[in-house]
Structure 1
Amino acid sequence: MQFAFPIAQTPLWAAVAAGALAGAFLLLRLLERRHEGRLHVFVEASLVGRLMPAYTLRARRPLFWLTLAGVLFLLLAAAQPHWGKKWTPITKTSRDILVLLDVSCSMTAQNPPPTRLDRARQKIESLLEKCPADRFGLIVFSGEAACMCPLTLDQGYFRSILDAVNADTLSMEGSDLASALLEAHDAFEADAQRFGGSENNNRIVLVLSDGEETASDAVETAKKIGALGSIYTLGIGDPQGVVIEFPEWMRQYVRMPDEKLTHISKLDEETLTKIAIAGNGAYVRITPDNADINFIHGEFENVHGKTASDTMRFRLVNRYRWPLVAAWVCFAAEGLWLGLLPWIRRRRLKRMEVPAHA
């Protein structure tokens, strides 16, 4: 027999169960004492037998033991005993999630700190932990887009690619989110041709960007991609904006006043929201905690996953229902006995009256 907890924790669980059972025993004894005390307030203990001949404490003892047995069976059901084996089908489902990560110059802004790109990377890491069975792919974009990691179940490989990405990964300046969406379309199509399957209801595009767009209209592109899968957007940055300076290497080749070598980079929530709506998804702004990732993960849970594998395994059977039924029987018997107590007392009283009449 095995239980839901590891074997090494058996002494701990046994101690907890023994403590709970002892607590239930003491509580029941306390309630019985209080019941007797209330009775003795009205009738002296030595006169109970004369004034209340039908009353006996023995008739209440089954209530005590039935309650204690019910608690014991509940504790056993909580431990989930496993015994006996049977063949059990194991079906694993997964979703295809393409992450579109903005690596343009504006993502080097230090709001939120340390940089927008670093915070976006942290959010992706948190999402990976919540979706261990899903396939992830990575597309980065600035003035152009490139697929850095195709859809894969190997999260270790995905993380290694993600850690290597920075603002210098792509050479073309700008922010062309539309090209990233088109790259996602091509990635989904290439994956379908290679591995088969063309279900659109398990495909997700997650965009992490500040929303600044300097190229074509991403909203119109999102409407076309929306038929292929859901698009969710995570806004990185602050609507108030922050000053961005041109890199030092660019200053060597551009002759402009210093005030023109800076611009204010703001989070464009309006554009990101429109993209999400066009893609039948949702938008959320980055938060200091993981509330944003929890929201996105909750949305992902509503997306139907495709069957990744279907196997049969010979596994122990969880028999928690048996002690649970036994606990229910004990509590039901307790209620039945409680209902029979008046009848038992009347019957006992009649037996005592027969010798008196004789």
Structure 2
Amino acid sequence: MQFIDLAAQYKHLKERIDKRIQTVLEHGQYIMGPEVQELEEKLADYVGVKHAITCANGTDALTLALMTLEIKEGDAIFCPTFTFFATAEVIAYEGATPIFVDSDPDTFNICPIDLENQIQKVIEEGALNPKAIIAVDLFGLPANYPEIEAIANKYNLKLVEDAAQGFGGEISGKRAGSFGDIATTSFFPAKPLGCYGDGGAVFTNSDGYAELIKSYRVHGKGKDKYDNVRIGMNSRLDTIQAAILLEKLQEFPTELKARNLVAQNYTKELMGKYKTPFTPEGYISSWAQYTLQHESRDVIMAEYKAKGIPTMVYYGTCMHQQTAFEYLGYNKGDFPVAEALSDSVFSLPMHGYLK
């Protein structure tokens, strides 16, 4: 049994994907070929935003967002401590300071109450400039954007949606990737919409932000690649990956329905035995992972392994406990909900072809 069965997906889409790749091989435009623009247009239409700009990976997508928002040394950027390392890594990479926030005990996403507490604490201390929030759509479920956006507006902060896991999720019909000032996603193979390598995208309704992102992703180019008007980076999505994603995006709504059916069946069978995922009213999850919580995690995972069922832990160490962030001075117990999650959550197999 596979935790994420990419082979089953490829078998289902093989003829269409192979044809797309063959077309790229024939026209030979491997970098920024026509499939890249076609994908960007279809991604923007699916998410419901004006602009979708593809890039090399999800981490670069976050970096491009922070570069566009002019994040710099002395800025405080608020993000969850219970998430993948990249969310906080890109903040430090820009010279800014990550300010970690505890989790909501039910959704596992960033807690709006603690978010506001952390913002007020930074303001009171006065050493850093509160600049932005990065909210993560953890395990496929969009964060609480109605409350987070209100907090961002209250304190005049920019908001970035990290939808690396949330692509396909919704709040009241508004899709992940359309929240905040800028949103990002990842097309890493294991993500809900994944390619066969690395890939990412940035979403925004701002024409100005879109032009900056397009420039930054190709060495800060101006009118052409030899006119460099700012310091940028090299972060382009390969044409072959765009071709693959075009076919996967077409199939994605069907796979999303299948993922939700799997999640419903899991919950029906496992409710009461474990703490099962909570989806608030009006929300739709894309189920990047189906994550359970239990104090005897290691014993339970061993039992599943003995039955030939793979399980995974996302995430075993919070950001404030990572060696790389020791310089920030956080201690065990600073974020009790997130720390409890890192000690007790585990995920079951989840994909659109699970029987």
Higher Cα radius of gyration:
1
Structure with more of its chain in helix, by fraction: 1
